[in-house]
Amino acid sequence: VALRDVAMGMVGWGVECILFNEEYMTCTWGSGQTLTANYSLYYWYENRSPVAECKQYLWERGVRTGCRFEQSEIIQFQPFHVRVNASQDGRILEIPSNRMELQNLVKPEAPVNLTIRNMSSNQLQLTWSSPYPKAHCLEHVVKYKSNKDTSWMKQEVKGDIFSFPSVDYEKFYTFYVRSKINNYCGSTQLWSEWSVPVFWGSNTTSKGMAEEQLQWFWIHTVLIPIASCLLLLVLVVLLVRMERVWVIIMPRIPNPNKNFDDLFITHNGDFQEWVGVPKDVVESFKPNYSESICHVSELPYEPLQDSIHPPGVPGPQEHGPYKNSYVGA
């Protein structure tokens, strides 16, 4: 039942195909609806090609919502058919669509390069160009309004020139242009988007806008760079002053290493040469005599034996472990 409801809804929605500027085409279904089934699109050209499945699906929230066709897959002036299959819970329902003529589904891009020229004292000429490759197949509509009008005026134009015969120099005008395929190349109501607007006029509003733009120009190109330079200069002055203050509060301790570079690099550590002492002064402090070397050695001492006293009886002059003998006169 749920799948049947989906299929019935799809029949009511239909499949909408749009050929964008003859560059690519999209066929979508279920626009603005919540899709839950799994959809597949098959297409074919009548009496020309077999049925083929879409090669490039469009997705939204994990569900297929359309198909994109590249330029090589598009054939105009041939009846075009599509079929969408909706599958859910192992069941498949086919949702056919009506026969389509792709030349009637072309939507051109919006016109570009809108230009206004003053042709006379009170006449303007608006020109533009179109990205659509077949300019002769287009018709256009110009939409314009002044700042004092309450509604837009529209004018159909066959070519790419629009003449505005009566202008008021006290008004400020806005112009738009859009295009669609004419009846000679197709039958469609698909208009392009409106172009980027173009403006003309010089009233108080436009003067105010011009003055505002001029003010912003001076602010961005003059005032901001000057203010930045002044701020940078103030920062530099403050840094210089702070450096001087720090030097006064915390003076730098000199490094003595550089003062002794000549002593060790140039003079190889010769202090006398480094301080500049004359050689004759250095020679005067050297001794001019020589002394002979005297060798001193200690001989071992042998105590004398006293034959008068018997062994084991100490003599009168024995002290401690050493003995001294004296001979009287």
Q: Is residue 209 in some structural domain? A: no
Residues with Cβ < 8 Å from 29, sequence gap 6 or more? Answer: 10, 13, 14, 15, 16, 39, 65, 66, 84, 95
**Residue 192 is part of a domain; what is its CATH number?**
2.60.40.10
Is there a domain that residue 130 lies in? yes
pLDDT at 239 over 70: yes
Same-domain status, 94 and 135: no
The whole domain housing 162 covers 108-203
Q: Which of 4-18, 125-139, 253-267, 288-302 has the highest mean pLDDT?
A: 125-139
165 within some domain: yes
pLDDT surpassing 90 at residue 116: yes
pLDDT the model gives residue 80: 93
Evaluate whether residue 271 is within a structural domain. Answer: no
Could you tell me if 188 and 104 are in contact, meaning their C-beta atoms sit under 8 angstroms apart? yes
* Domain boundary residue, one of 175, 203, 231: 203
* Cα atoms in the 13 Å half-sphere on the side-chain side of 264: 5
Q: For residue 251, what is the enclosing H or E element? A: none
Let me know whether 114 and 190 are in one domain.
yes
Threshold 0.85, pTM exceeds: no
Q: Is residue 228 part of a domain?
A: no
Please, which pLDDT band fits residue 327 given cuts at 50, 70 and 90?
very low
Same domain, 160 and 177: yes
The predicted model gives 102-113 an average pLDDT of 94
Q: Is the pLDDT of residue 257 over 60?
A: no
pLDDT band at 89; cut points 50, 70, 90: confident
Selected residue with higher pLDDT from 243 and 143: 143
Which of 14-18, 193-197, 202-206, 312-316 has the largest mean confidence?
A: 193-197
Q: Is there a single domain that holds both residue 100 and residue 21? A: yes
Number of domains into which the chain is organized = 2
Q: Quote the DSSP letter at residue 133.
A: S
Token output for 47:
């009496």
Helices (H), 198-270: 204-218, 224-249, 261
Identify the three-state secondary structure at position 201: strand
pLDDT at 328: 44
Domain boundary among 73, 104, 135: 104
322 band by pLDDT with thresholds 50, 70 and 90:
very low
pLDDT of 143 reads: 95
Q: Which of 22-26, 204-208, 291-295 has the highest mean pLDDT?
A: 22-26
Q: Are 287 and 279 in contact (CB under 8 A)?
A: no
92 and 172 assigned to the same domain: no
Decide if pLDDT at 204 tops 70. Answer: no
Give the pLDDT confidence score for residue 20 in this predicted structure. Answer: 95
* Least confident stretch, 161-170, 226-235, 282-291, 299-308: 299-308
Residues 67 and 99 in one domain: yes
97 and 115 share one domain = no
49-85 residue pLDDT tens: 789 999 999 998 888 989 999 999 999 899 999 999 8
pLDDT at 302: 63
- Reply yes or no on whether the pLDDT at 321 is more than 60: no
Is 268 within a domain? no
61 and 19 within one domain: yes
147 & 197 share domain: yes
190 lies in some domain: yes
Q: Are residues 33 and 77 in the same domain?
A: yes
d(CA 169, CA 141): 24
Q: Within a 10 A sphere around the Cβ of 142, how many other Cβ atoms?
A: 20
Domain end: 104, 130, 146, which one? 104
Question: Closest Cα partner for 177 from 139, 150, 148?
Answer: 139
- Interstrand relation of 38-45 and 24-29 (parallel, antiparallel or unpaired): unpaired
Rounded Cα distance between 144 and 198, Å, is: 10
In a domain, 171, yes or no: yes
Domain check: are 177 and 116 in the same one? yes
- DSSP-derived letter for residue 222 is I
**Mean of pLDDT over the chain:** 78
Distance of CA 165 to the CA centre of its chain: 49
114 and 96 in a common domain: no
What pLDDT is recorded for position 206?
A: 44
